[in-house]
Structure 1
Amino acid sequence: MSEDSLKYLAEMDPFTLDELMTQHGQEVWNFAYFLTKNRSMADDITQDVFLQVYRHVTSFRGEASIKTWLLKITRNISHNYRNTAFIRKVLLVDVAVSKEYSRSAEQAFLEKETANHVWRQVFNLPVKFREVLVLHAKYELSMSDIAHILKIPEGTVKSRLFGARKKMSALLKEERIINEPI
């Protein structure tokens, strides 16, 4: 979907909104899930994101890509959800599941377990590190796009990314030491 067609979304052609949801819906849901650690909350946030797009499509200025704009809205709504007292009390952690396929069942199981383990460690990071790492590693966004989404300078993005990688390395190294046979 081009940015020009998004401008016409203000007139709300349902097929254009459907196209936007089809193209970016899974990415929005995944990012909401990474931020909240809760599947049902990610569902609600995804619906709210596209509802906000429907209501405020005229606020899209084309300064960033559509994907960046949607992820920024997702981040803002996710933070609002997380900051409510009820949500803080009932937040449940689900396990991220890898969708990769491989040749053997054993290999698939081991790859899935490894991926789950790494994502569990990502969930242990503070939000400011987790969101930068996910936007960079999972969504492959540039430093400037991440800075735009988070409303922070690019230097801060680089610093947080460095800190996130350092903490992940320490978490994974610590766990290897703990799990090694004596």
Structure 2
Amino acid sequence: MRSNRVKPDAITFLSVLPACSHAGMLIEGCSFSLAMKQDYGIIPNIDHYNCMIDLLGRTGRLVEAQQLILNMRVEPCVASWATLLSACRKEVNVSGAEQAAFRIMQMDPKDATPYIMLANTYSAANRMNDAQRIMMKMRAKDITAELDKVLCSNMSPKAMIGIDSMHISRESSDAAMNMFIRSMNV
């Protein structure tokens, strides 16, 4: 950006920051985040903060990610805590996962995601009793996971993915992937 004398805007950084996150480029991502404010006068919004939470989480900086959520200048949203929860699940950080999950449960009491992700974290930590307990708590509150539809263009649903089944048929996933590949080769 600097070498081409291009003046980035807020949307530019919503491309750059996730790229740094997915590449595991912590230093570069932090540098771009600072430049956004200091060099270009762009005030970060919740999406920029969530990108930085993701970057910190993907690079194992869970404490820093949580501190960012607690200290950012905008109100954290469910996605902020869910991003941290996902990173905690990946790192099998039970304490962090519990904190993030309970924040989500407070913000969106009918969302099944924090229960399921927390149960998965407990399972990964070989805490099966806790995993069962949290799933029973979810069921006791009559919280159910919604089904997602995999849609391709204007085609009918190719598969239904439910939390209880946690699988998709091979034929459906192959059909969706082939359609995606064909559309990219246009």
Higher relative helix content: 1
TM-score above 0.5: no
Mark the structure with the bigger radius of gyration. Answer: 2
Under TM normalisation by the shorter chain, which class is it? under 0.3
